[in-house]
Amino acid sequence: MKKTEIHPLAVVEKGAELGSNVTIEPYAIVKKDVVIEDNVVVKSHAYIDGHTTIGRGTVIWPSASIGTKTQALDYTGEVTYVKIGRECEIREFVTINSSTSPGSTVHVGDHCLIMAYCHIAHSCYVGNHVIMSNGSMLAGHVIVEDYAILGGMTPVHQFVRIGCHSMVGGLSRVTEDIPPYTIGGGIPYVLAGINRVGLKRRNFSFEIQKALFRAYRLVYKSNLALATALCQIEREMGEFDEIKHFVSFCRKSKRGLIGMRGIRASRMEKEKKIEYSKV
């Protein structure tokens, strides 16, 4: 077991808990309520505050700021938490704020890569194996499911959910929920279809990929109402767990599914043309 190394020019306050084989580089600051598990590296000028836990094997790169007070204006000093999972890379100048409501946690899962200048705001939940590219930003209460990838410089609106295995293009603007297993991007955001490359890399079977493509087509390319399309998807392909998750995700959407407004407007325009043709 290797000894924890704290550089003389680092500041680790009394009360902070450090595991074995932890490295704290010069000018890093670790505040009193922080818990750092085994094999963590905190590089120079990083700042870790609040009731923050850093999971085993994670690397915090220079000038990252984790666990600082939320920027939400309604916060009144309650005890909140930040939990960073295992084997994560938190790159340069990343900011991860603490949560807002008493006892709540900002969660970043295991094996995540949070690239330089990203921001994760209060009450966010980021799953496992998530990649946030440089400068992408999560507003409060955002949920990012496992294996999702966010392109660089992409802001995500409050309360939005980003489904698992989805790929969000860089320089996009995300204001509504992105269904799992999809790929898209742009301003306004346009879904391009199912994330075939990502699904192949994760060894999804051809049958599951085919079912997800069919589900996507029924929701976005048919003339069916969303509720009707989801019922048909369940009848035709409900034996797949991935399809069950796709349907459940769509049904639970409170902000609406991204890209559906344009589809609804197009369908209404077609209906008007049909009505006018009958006059």
Q: For residue 184, give the nearest of 174, 169, 196, 197 by alpha carbon.
A: 169
> Hunting for tokens 């939400």 — which residue is that?
72
The confidence band for 271, taking pLDDT boundaries of 50, 70 and 90, is: very low
The residues facing 106 across adjacent strands are 82
pTM of this structure: 0.94
Query: What pLDDT band is residue 265 in, cutting at 50, 70 and 90?
Result: very low
Cα–chain-centroid distance for residue 14? 33
Four-residue CA torsion sign, 203, 207, 212, 217? positive
221-243 pLDDT, tens digit per residue, is: 998 999 999 999 999 999 999 99
Superfamily holding 1-141: Hexapeptide repeat proteins (2.160.10.10)
What's the whole-number mean pLDDT along residues 187-204? 97
Does position 268 have pLDDT exceeding 90, yes or no?
A: no
125: CB partners within 8 A, 6+ apart: 106, 107, 142, 143, 144
Q: Are 142 and 158 in contact, with CB atoms under 8 Å apart?
A: yes
pLDDT tens by residue, 122-144: 999 999 999 999 999 999 999 99
CA proximity to 147, closest of 116, 183, 100 = 183
Is pLDDT at 261 greater than 80 in this prediction?
no
Question: Percent of the chain having pLDDT more than 70?
Answer: 93
| Cis peptide bond upstream of 26, omega within 30 | no
pLDDT, tens digit, for every residue of 12-45? 999 999 999 999 999 999 999 999 999 999 999 9
